[in-house]
Chains A and B, each alone.
Chain A
Amino acid sequence: MSFEPKILSFLCNWCCYAAADAAGVARYQYPPYNRVIRVMCTGRIDPRFVVEAFYVGTDGVFIGG
C-alpha cells in the first residue's frame, strides 16, 4: 500500500484559504490527505501549534500565507 500522509494545513484567511476555495471552484483535483485549520493570518501561528501537530501524529505541517 502506498504512503498516505496526514498533513495539517494552517491557511491564512485572506490568501491561501481563499486560494484553496478558488481551487475548488475551478475543480482542481489534488490528493485528499490534508486537513485545514483556518487562521486570520499566518502571523497567528504559534510554534507550539506546529509542535502539537507533530505530537498528535501529523506527517507534515503546511503553512500557507
Chain B
Amino acid sequence: MEAGRSPNIEIITLAELKGLSGEPGHFKATVEVKPRYIDPEKCTACGMCMTYCPRLVPDEYNENLDFTRAARVDYAQAIPTAYYIDAQKCLRLNHEACSLCLNLCGPKAIDFTQVPEERTLEVGAVILAAGFGRVPLEALQKYGYGEYPDVVTSLELERLTCASGPSEGEVLRPSDMTHPQRIAFIQCVGSRDVTCGQNYCSSVCCMYAVKEASVVKEHAPEAEISLFFMDVRTQGKGFDESFRRAVDKYGFRVIRAKVPKVEQIGRRLALTYVPENGQARREFFDLVVLSVGLAPPEDALSIAQVTGIELNRFRFAQTSSATPLQTNKAGIFVAGAFQGPKDIPESVVQASGAAALASEILAGARKTEIIEKSFPTEDQSLLQEEPRVGVFVCHCGINIAGVIDVKAVSEYAASLPHVVVAEDVLYACSQDTLVSLVQKIKEYRLNRVVIAACSPRTHEPLFQETLREAGLNPALFEMANIRDQCAWVHGFAPEYATEKAKDQVRMAVAKAVRLEPLEIQRVSVTATALVIGGGAAGMTAALSLAEQGFEVHLVEKTDTLGGNLKRLRFLLSGEDPQKILHDLVDQVQKHPRIHVYLDTSVENVSGYVGNFTSTLKGPEGSALVNHGVVILATGAGEYRPELYCLGQDPRILTQLDLESALTEEKDLLLEAKSIVMIQCAGSRGQGLSYCSKFCCQQAVKNALQIKNKYPGKDVYILYRDLRTYGFSEEAYREARNQGVIFLRYEADAPPRVEVRQGGEIKVKVKDRLLGEDLLLPCDVLVLSVGVQTQGSEELAKTLKVPLTQEGFFLEAHVKLRPVELAVDGIYVCGLAHAPKPLEEVLAQARAAAGKAAIPMAKGYVEVPPIVSRVDQSRCIGCGICADLCPYNAIVLVKVGKRKKAETITASCKGCGVCASHCPVLAISMGGFTDEAILAQIQAFGTKEKKKETAEEAA
C-alpha cells in the first residue's frame, strides 16, 4: 500500500526483465510488459467485470482450491487495486466470443486492443527480489500427494484457514468436506532431502507449521494435532518462546521422526514411523499436512542469464558471508528468499540493506529525479467564513448504489445545517470527479468537504490531496464510510443500510463543521549519525552511511574496533573472518566522514528524531555531538555459564576458545583423541532462556575444522535440535559423512560432566535409542555457550527505548520494521537486536543504515497534523500525560515558575492517550478534538431524540 502510494515508485506488473546492460550508476534494463487489458488508471475496482465474467477458471491464488473468473483481482488488498484479464483464459481473447465485461464496465477501463510493449528503463542499480518457488512435485508425491485427497500442502492449508479463503476459514478435509479430528504435519517436505536435490533447510517451515497448527486449533478446538519433526528449528528471535507457548496452549504432540510414507486405509491416512526409541509405530489421521519448503524462484535461471549473476548449486543467488546482499555483478543486489530461504523479518531486513547498497552508489544523484508534488497556497479568506460544507455521495458503480438509495442520502445531506451543496457522483475517486471536486470547492466557496464513499484508510489521502489542489487545508475533510462498513455488509437490508448511511453522513457533517485547518509540521534533520558500537555491525552501518554521504560518529567502548569478530577464526563459507575484519577496520579508519571514538561511552542522549545531542565521554574528557539519528550496534558478549565445569579445567573450552586453540595448534588439541561438544550449554532454558541461533553452525564448522586438520580424532556433538538452517545444512551432512557423531539429548536429561584434577573428563549422556547412559571418552570438552547482552539496560534507559525480557532491543514491529525502534530516529542492528551469525549481522547493519539514511536524505521529518497539542494556559503540569505517552512524545518544560507539558510533534503518533487522560482538558488532538468527537456523538443522537418526541406526540 505504501509502495503503491509513493510518487517515486512505479510498479510495473505483468513484466519480465529481458535484457540488462551497462554498469553501476548507468544500467539499461529492457522490460517486456504484458497487457493487463484493464486500464488501472480508470479501473475503480468495483468488481462488475468479475461478477459477470462467464469464464470459470481454477483460482491459483487459492492454490486451485476454488474457482475464480478470467476477469479478476487475485485478492482484495492487491496493489495496484485494479482488475486484470487472464489472457490464457479469457473467451474474448482466445475465441473472439463474449465481450460482456467491455459493455458492463462503468468507467470504460477495459481495453482489448492492448498489446505487449517493450520498455527501456535507465537505472543506476538493480535489486533482485524474485522470491521463492515451489519444491519439486516428486518430493510431495512420496507422501501420497495427488493420490490421496486428504494429503494437502501447508500452502493449501494456509488458504483453507484464511477467513477470505475458499472455505472462509473453515478447516475441511478435501475428500468429504468434514472437519478433520486428527491432523498430522510432516516437516521437511522438499527440504533436507538429497533424494530430490534439496539438501538445504528451508528455515521457515518449523515456525510456520506451528503457526498453522495454532490457527487450525483456533478454528477447530477439538482437533488433535501431531507434528513430525527431524529437528525443531525455531532459531529466530523469540521463536523458541512462541513455539513453547503454542505447544503448551494447544497441546500439540511433538514427535521426532522422519515419516517415510503415508498410506490411505479406508477413509483415513496411516503414517508409519520410527520414533527415537527404534520401535516402529503406525497411527491414523484424518488429514496430513506436508510442510513444503522453499525452492529457488522458477525463473532463477533466466534471471541469471539476463543479468549475468552467479547462482549457487541450488539455483539461489550466490553471495558471500562478507557481502551477503551483493551478487558477483557490481551494482546488482539481492534480497529476500532468492538469496536463500528465509522468513519475513529476514527478508525485510535484506530489502532495506539492499536499498542502502543502492543508495550508496546513487548518493551523487540523490534528489535529481524525484517527484515532489506542489500545491497552491491555501485560501485564508475561506476560513473567515461560517462553515460551508459540500457533501458528495458516491455510487461506486453499483457497489454502494446497488444497496443504498444514494439519491436519498444526498438529498438528506442537503437538508443538514451548514451544507451548501450535496450531490451524488458515480465514482468519487475517478479522475474526472476529482477535477470537478476542485471546481465545486471554488464555485461554492466550500471550506469543509465530506465524502460518503469507501474507507478513509484507503482513500482519505487521495481526497485530501484534491483539497490541497483546490487551495483548501487537507484537515478540513471528513469521510463517511458507506461502502466497506455499510453497503457491503448490509446487502440484505437496503432500507436499513440507507438509514445507516444517512446517520453516518450526518455525523460526518457535524464533525466536519468543527474541523480546523492544521499545519503539516516539518522538523529539520541534522545529517549526521551516531553509531554506538564498533563491532562488525557498527562498522558496516557506519561505512554504509558514510558512503551514502553522511557524517558518522562511531563510538566504541573498548580500545579497538572489531568486537566479537576479533575472536572468530573460520567461517562455514571458507572465507577468512580476520580478513573481513581488517578490511572493515581499514575502510572505517580511512573514511573521511567517519569519526571514530575509542574508549568512549555515550553518557547522555537528549532530543528527538532529527535533532539529538549526545555527550560522549572519552579518555580526553567529554564531548558534545549533534546528530539526527542513532544506530545501536552495542553487540553482546559470550555467555560463560557455571555449567559443565567451565572455568575449572583448561581442557574445557567454549567454541570461541576452541577456534583460537585450533589456529594456534595448541598441544591440548594435538594430544586429544576424542573431543566432545555440548550444544545449548546454558541456553534454551538453562540460564539463558533463548536460542543463540549461530552455535549449531559454529559447532559443525569447528567439528569440520578438526576433522580436516586431524582426521584421526573423534568428535561428538551432543545437541537438542541441530539448527543448521539454510545452506549450512550441507555442512551438517558433510560432518556426518566425515564421521562426526551426533547424539541428541532432551532438555530434562542434559549431559553430565565430571572432572577429576589431572584425571579424565567424564561425559555421560542418555542414548535415545537404547534408553541407557553412554559414557563418552573425552579429552577436550567444548561448550556452545551462546551470547548475552551487556549494558543494554543502561542505554535503553537513556534512550527510553524498550528491551525484550532477555535484554535485547525490541524492534518497533517484528516483520514490518525490524531495525527501527519505537522511538523515531533510533535503529538497531547486530547482536544487540538478537543473536545471529555474521552474515545476518552484516545484512542487518546495512538495513539499519538504509533506514537511518531516510530522514537524513530527506532533510526533514514530516509530521501528519493528527498530533496532540497542549494548551499551556490550562495545563497544571501534573505530568500524567508525559507518564502515559507510549512514544515519549510529551515532556515537561519549565514555563516561568511552573512546569507545563509540551508535545514533541516529531515523535507524536496521534493516539490521543494524553488527551483522554488530561484532568483539565488542556490537550487537543488534531482532527480528533473533543469538540469534533462530541459533535459526532451528539449528531448520532439527534435523530433518535426527534423520533422519540414524535412518538411522544403521537
Q: Interface of A with B (CB < 8 Å)?
A: 6, 8, 13, 17-18, 20-30, 32-33, 35-41, 43-49, 52-53, 55-58
Known: A13-B457, A35-B504, A44-B928. A52 touches B910 (CB 8 A): no
Name which residue of chain B comes closest to A17, CB basis: B457
- Give A43 to B483 CA distance when docked, in angstroms: 26
B843 to chain A, nearest CB (A): 29
A21 to chain B, nearest CB (A): 4
The contact sample of 20 A-B pairs, CB cut-off 8 A, is A21-B455, A21-B457, A21-B484, A23-B484, A24-B484, A25-B164, A30-B489, A30-B490, A32-B490, A33-B496, A36-B481, A43-B911, A44-B916, A45-B916, A47-B916, A52-B934, A53-B940, A56-B938, A56-B945, A57-B941
Q: Interface of B with A (CB < 8 Å)?
A: 76-77, 163-164, 168, 455-458, 481, 483-486, 488-493, 496-497, 499-500, 503-504, 507, 866, 909-913, 915-916, 925, 928, 930, 933-934, 936-938, 940-942, 944-945, 948
Chain B residues with CB under 8 Å of A39's CB are 912, 928, 933
B121 to chain A, nearest CB (A): 33
A56 to chain B, nearest CB (A): 2
- Give A43 to B910 CA distance when docked, in angstroms: 10
Name which residue of chain A comes closest to B504, CB basis: A35
B865 to chain A, nearest CB (A): 12
Q: Which of A24, A35, A45, A55 contacts B488 (CB 8 A)?
A: A24
A37 x B76 contact (CB < 8 A)? no
Known: A32-B490, A40-B910, A56-B944. A49 touches B937 (CB 8 A): yes
B911 x A40 contact (CB < 8 A)? yes
Q: Which of B168, B500, B936 contacts A32 (CB 8 A)?
A: B500
A44 x B937 contact (CB < 8 A)? no
Name which residue of chain A comes closest to B399, CB basis: A24
Known: A25-B76, A35-B507. A8 touches B937 (CB 8 A): yes
Q: Which of B457, B911, B934 contacts A41 (CB 8 A)?
A: B911
Name which residue of chain A comes closest to B168, CB basis: A26
Known: A29-B491, A32-B500. A6 touches B944 (CB 8 A): yes
A25 x B504 contact (CB < 8 A)? no
A24 x B489 contact (CB < 8 A)? yes
Name which residue of chain A comes closest to B503, CB basis: A35
Chain A CB within 10 Å, residue with most, of B496, B910, B940: B940
- Give A21 to B151 CA distance when docked, in angstroms: 34
B719 to chain A, nearest CB (A): 41
B485 x A24 contact (CB < 8 A)? yes
- Give A55 to B944 CA distance when docked, in angstroms: 11
B182 to chain A, nearest CB (A): 30
Chain A residues with CB under 8 Å of B507's CB are 35, 37
Chain B residues with CB under 8 Å of A38's CB are 456, 481
Closest 5 CB pairs of A and B: A56-B941, A44-B912, A24-B484, A41-B911, A43-B913
Name which residue of chain B comes closest to A47, CB basis: B916
Given contacts A22-B76, A32-B490, 17 further A-B contacts (CB under 8 A): A17-B455, A21-B455, A24-B455, A24-B485, A25-B488, A27-B488, A30-B490, A32-B499, A35-B507, A36-B481, A36-B485, A37-B937, A38-B481, A40-B910, A43-B913, A43-B916, A49-B933
Chain A residues with CB under 8 Å of B483's CB are 24
Known: A8-B940, A35-B940. A44 touches B915 (CB 8 A): yes
B500 x A35 contact (CB < 8 A)? yes
Chain B residues with CB under 8 Å of A32's CB are 486, 489-490, 493, 496-497, 499-500
- Give A29 to B164 CA distance when docked, in angstroms: 14
Name which residue of chain A comes closest to B941, CB basis: A56
B622 to chain A, nearest CB (A): 39
